[in-house]
Amino acid sequence: MPRLAVFASGNGSNAQRIIEYFAGHPAITVDLLLCNRPDAPVVARGKNLGVATRVFNRAALYETGEIIEILAAKRIDYLVLAGFLWLIPQSLIAAYPGRIINIHPALLPKYGGKGMYGMKVHESVVAGSDPKSGITIHYVDEKYDEGKIIFQAECAVSSGDTPAMLAEKIHALEYRYYPEVIEKIVTRDD
């Protein structure tokens, strides 16, 4: 029975969608929501949804090993990043080899890398007059947005689209596909 932890930094609409999708699931549970910003809306979402929610600081992730201890105490099997901004350290990758999944709001390898997050990605796609964008679900390695790609889905970018309009299209794809892809991955080798 795979146990998931979701990491998020901001609004948390994907985190909420994932938590709701797996609520009552016969074989998969979301046991923990982790956030690096105490004021992020995702913290309230987690509490409202009744999921154990922890806010942590840089030291817990990069220095003390506290995050790994928290995950171990909860017997977490997979880490799901949903709008999480900080780089995942090597220690965490080593603790969860092939078991950390991220979603990026563009068609990697384009529009990825450090600082390419949320609206910044959509602003770049619109500024570049790219006719299409989409989502990429991938495994996480020690570099931003470079891990092995698991799944992509596309959407058209029309000439009148603003970054906010594109963000809406991308979110719709994320809500539709991310929970299902997670479900497939975590049940594949269990």
Question: Which residues would be at the binding site for ligand GAR (CB under 6 A)?
Answer: 8, 10-15, 82-83, 103-105, 116-118, 121, 170-171, 174
Q: Which C-beta is closer to ligand GAR: that of 58 or that of 114?
A: 114
Annotated catalytic residue, options 25, 104, 138, 171:
104
CB of 93 to ligand GAR, least distance (A): 17
Q: Which C-beta is closer to ligand GAR: that of 65 or that of 118?
A: 118
CB of 5 to ligand GAR, least distance (A): 15
Please name the residues in contact with 76: beta carbons below 8 A apart, sequence gap of 6 or more. 3, 4, 5, 31, 32
Q: Which C-beta is closer to ligand GAR: that of 95 or that of 153?
A: 153
CB of 81 to ligand GAR, least distance (A): 7
Q: Which C-beta is closer to ligand GAR: that of 7 or that of 96?
A: 7
CB of 24 to ligand GAR, least distance (A): 21
Q: In this chain, which residue has its C-beta nearest to ligand GAR? A: 83
- For the chain, the three-class secondary structure string (H helix, E strand, C coil) is CCEEEEEECCCCHHHHHHHHHHCCCCCCEEEEEEECCCCCHHHHHHHHCCCCEEECCHHHHHCCCHHHHHHHHCCCCEEEECCCCCCCCHHHHHHCCCCEEEEECCCCCCCCCCCCCCHHHHHHHHHCCCCEEEEEEEECCCCCCCCCEEEEEEEECCCCCCHHHHHHHHHHHHHHHHHHHHHHHHHHCC
Q: Is 104 a catalytic residue?
A: yes
Catalytic residues: 104
